[in-house]
Structure formats: structure tokens, C-alpha cells
Amino acid sequence: MDETHRHAFPLLAAAQAQGHLIHNEALVAIDALLHPVIAAFGVNEPPEGVSPPHAVTVGGAPTGLFEGQAGRIASLTDAGWRFYDAPDGMLAYSVPDGTFMRFALAGGWEVLTAEFSGETLDRLGISTSPDATNRLSVKSPAVLLAAPGGVEGDDCRLVINRDDPAATASMIFQSDYQGRAEAGLAGDDRFRIKVADSGGTWREALSIDPDTARVSLPNTDQPSQMLFNLLEDAGRFGGTPEPLDVLLSAYTQPSYVAAYNGSTFTQGEKYYHNSTTYGGSAAALSANIQALVEKVRDVPRFGPEFYTLKVTAGSGTLASITEGGTSYALAIHHRKPAFWPKSMFCFNVKVTSGSALIAAGSAVPDSQTYVDGALAGGNVAIDAGTEWKQVVRRYDYDRRSFYYYAPALFAIYATPGTVFHIAMPFLFPGHVPVPEDYFVFVPSLTNWR
């Protein structure tokens, strides 16, 4: 054996004459082939004006000094060009494009792609091995991500991105490589925290609505939707206190609302318990009442009876609001007893002629108006022929600057002569989430005290 297997470095033989020549030739070859830097690939004739240690790979149709050296590495030395065969798997740095090239006996030189290039890595393992899924793998007692400081700033963020809203962007916490907790986005835009038992059953502990920032704790016992109606008649318009029965014998005009600008209040339409509309024995429901109960309930046949309050707007023009070129005057408002800084008022309204307006209450900071579960961006006009609308006013006054009475609690504006019905109003202190599938009936607190 007179040369090495991979790079064919010359070996000194026993009692080798002029051994220094063989030794020097081996050093020259090592200098050319150890971490080779290639100035150009596929060159067919020697480049001019270059000096050692210039190196190229010879192309497939070489001429001149390169003739007969196709596919080999040509390295310029002080003694001229030297030619070497590249072994399978050899890496060389390409000067023109700043990438690494890999040599394969079957295919020649090829770019070493993202698996290992000048700026990117396909995988990276620190004290452990990466794989096709965990392309960055780290085993370490701690990992530090720090802000660079200086001109680059003092901020530091870890970003987890997904391309599809139906996909997942989350962090998983494991014990012995078994998932025990997960936090992030999974399948939609709600931020969730989930936990898993030793059997691998996952349960949702927390969920945050991205549109409202409201938090739900689906597996935690807590007061939820604890609604009670502070209106003594429970918004049934059947007298106070609320009758101790689902049936109502007569309409009674409520005392907590007042007419304005000459408006008038009269008995409206009635919801009957066990109506013939649904196969019962009581009177049939009007089309308006049927539409209302079927909008807010899945079982409309049975339930506490109620009347609607029918309002006919007067001709006065005081306290008017102009919206879309139409002037609306105040038709009905609540009376002004002492009140809470944080509260909610809900009612259903149906316009049968003319046009009414729900003022969004923008004069009250941080207070909101919802119509059919959606946050209203401004005043909402409701015209005749429109379906029932459920309006929720969510009041959020500052407790130290509040007058403790609410002049904007409940008010409906209308054009002269407009007729509209109000049904099932309720009032309670504090806040609860506004449901997308509507509030239904909220009983009075009076009967249960």
C-alpha cells in the first residue's frame, strides 16, 4: 500500500529514498483537500492571472493543461497545477455564491441546500439529536432568550406562527415526554389552556374569546349567568310584584318607564302558556309573539305569560337625534332611581310602523350596546317590517365619578307616529357575557326573597 484510501496521499515506504519529496507531496495534497475552497466549478481550461492556492473543479470537456482531468479538483501550487479526485461525500466551499457543495460519485458536485448552507440549517440539535418533526432539539437545564439592547432595542419576543387559522400554534408541557398541559391556539382563534391526566385525556381549563377578551372556565364551578330581574314585574307587564304563577290575568302598565314628546302607552300583544299554536289549549299566539318566542327559545309552548308594552310615538321634537338624515325624537325613557355604576339592561323591540332608533350611548365611556348579540358600532335604526331585535345596554361607569343614577339607561327614539312593542325587559347589577343565542326570560327577584 503506497497511498491512502480516500485522498490518495503518498505514503513513505520502508527505506524510502528521497522521502522528503514524498512527504512534501503529501502535505501539498492535504493543503489542497482539507476544507477545500473552490473559486469556480466546471472549468474546462486553466484560468489566467491567478495565484496559489487558487482551486477549481475541472469540467467535462477540458483542454490544455486540464486535458484528461475531467471531474477532478485542480489546485494551483508553486510548482503548477495539481489534480486530485474528490472522494464521495466531500464538502467544498463555493466562493461565488457562498454556499457549500457536496460531491457524490453518482452525480458529481451539488449544492448542499438548506440541510447545511452558509446561513440556514435544516436541523439543529444541542446536546441531543433532532429529527424530522423536532428539527430544533435542545437538552439543557435552562434556555435564555435576551433582548440585544443598545441600538437593537430592549424588547425580546418569542413568536409562534401558524399559516392556517384551523391549524395549531401552541406550547406543550410534558412529563416523561407525555403531554400534561398545552397553551395556545388550536383549531380557531380562541386562546386556550388545556391539561391532560396520566391516561392522556385532555380537558380545557381556560378559553378566551378573541373578539371580547372574555374568559371562560368550562371545567370550574363558578357563578355563571346568575341573573335576577330587578324589575318588580319581571318585564311581564302583569302587575307588581310579579304574580306567583305562569299565568297572567291582566295587563298592568309599568311604573319604571315614562312617555316623552306626547307618546302613549297601551296594552300590546300577549304570550299564552300552552298555546294552541303549539298544540295546547290556550289562545293562539299572534304572529309577532310567535316570532319572538321562537327567536329566543327552543321550547316555545310552555313558559311564564307576558304582555308587550305598545308605544305610539308623539309629535314632539325635544331631545332629538338625527341619524342618516332622519330626525328621531325621544319617545320612552326610564325613570331615575338610584343606580349602579356597572349594570346591564336588556329588552326586545319590534317596530310595526314608522322607524325607531336605539342610541348607542357613546357619551358613556366604556359602555356598550349590543343588538342581537353583536356589538353596535353606533346608533341603530329599526324600521317597520324588521324582525324583533334584542338590545342589551352594558354600562360601565367609573364608580368615583358616577352620579349613581343613569339618565341614559333606557331610551328609544322614534319618528312621529311610529308604533313599536317592547317585550321581556330585565335589569340587573354587574356584568355577564352577552350571548349570541339571546337572553330569554329573567324572573324577578321579588318572589324569591
Name the 3-class secondary structure at 214. coil
Phi, psi of 384, rounded to the nearest 5 degrees: -60, 145
Using CB atoms within 10 A of its CB, is residue 149 exposed (0-12), middle (13-18) or buried (19+)?
exposed
User: Which pLDDT value is given to residue 11?
Assistant: 47
Q: What is the largest CA-CA distance in the chain?
A: 129
Contact 103, 87 (CB under 8 A): yes
User: Which regions of the chain are under pLDDT 50?
Assistant: 1, 4-6, 11, 14, 17, 19-20, 114, 117, 362
**Per residue in 372-414, pLDDT tens?**
998 888 899 999 999 999 999 888 878 787 777 766 678 899 9
**Per residue in 298-337, pLDDT tens?**
999 999 999 999 999 999 999 999 999 999 999 999 887 7
User: Which pLDDT value is given to residue 339?
Assistant: 78
Contact 431, 342 (CB under 8 A): yes
DSSP string for residues in 116-151 = B-SS-BS-EEESS---SS-SEEE--S--------GG
The DSSP letter of residue 231 is S
User: Which pLDDT value is given to residue 449?
Assistant: 67
Q: For the whole model, what pTM was predicted? A: 0.60
Residue spans of the domains in the chain: they are 19-111, 182-222, 224-449
Q: What is d(CA 344, CA 121) in angstroms, rounded to the nearest whole number?
A: 57
Phi, psi of 380, rounded to the nearest 5 degrees: -120, 115
Torsion of CA 400, 401, 403, 404, to 10 degrees: -40
